[in-house]
Amino acid sequence: MADLIIADDEPEILTLLERLLSLQHNVRVAGNGMEALQLVREQKPDLALLDYHMPHMNGAELAKQFNHHAVPFMFITGESEWEVIQEIISLGALAYLLKPFDPMKCIPTVEEALRLAGERRVLQRSAAR
């Protein structure tokens, strides 16, 4: 059971993701980037799901903050333009879901991102030795 943060300014998306993912994980939600950053300061999650467009702090700005706090993340976004996808990848996202997404694809995508986050932690520990 992993600790997840979901940050999205669309209440329907938050509710859907929270219901889906809380069956297997501990989930905390944030309606904007500032709330998500506060949650990270309180308790570092195993993975964060970030909306690309949010008020107060967009997903790209939030991703940079999460990198600073060594928090693995993935994106949920309606943006399918190649430039945006390239930015998401360059920011260090482990995965992304395009809105509207199929709820049945959500869980395997999150599980894969958690697996990659775990591998990244192992590699970082090995490199630190």
d(CA 78, CA 11): 15
The pLDDT of residue 34: 92
Question: Which comes out higher in pLDDT, residue 14 or 68?
Answer: 14
Segments making up each domain of the chain, as ranges: 3-128
- Provide the Cα torsion 26, 30, 33, 36; round to 10°: -40
Q: Kindly report the pTM of this predicted structure.
A: 0.91
Query: How far apart, in whole angstroms, are the C-alpha atoms of residue 3 and residue 45?
Result: 5
Which among 69, 70, 76 is positioned nearest to 7, based on CA atoms?
A: 76
Query: Which pLDDT score, from 0 to 100, does residue 68 have?
Result: 85
User: How far is residue 56's CA from residue 96's CA, in Å, rounded to a whole number?
Assistant: 21
Please give the pLDDT value at position 123: 78
Name the phi and psi angles at 56, rounded to 5: 75, -30
The topology (CATH level 3) of 3-128 is Rossmann fold (3.40.50)
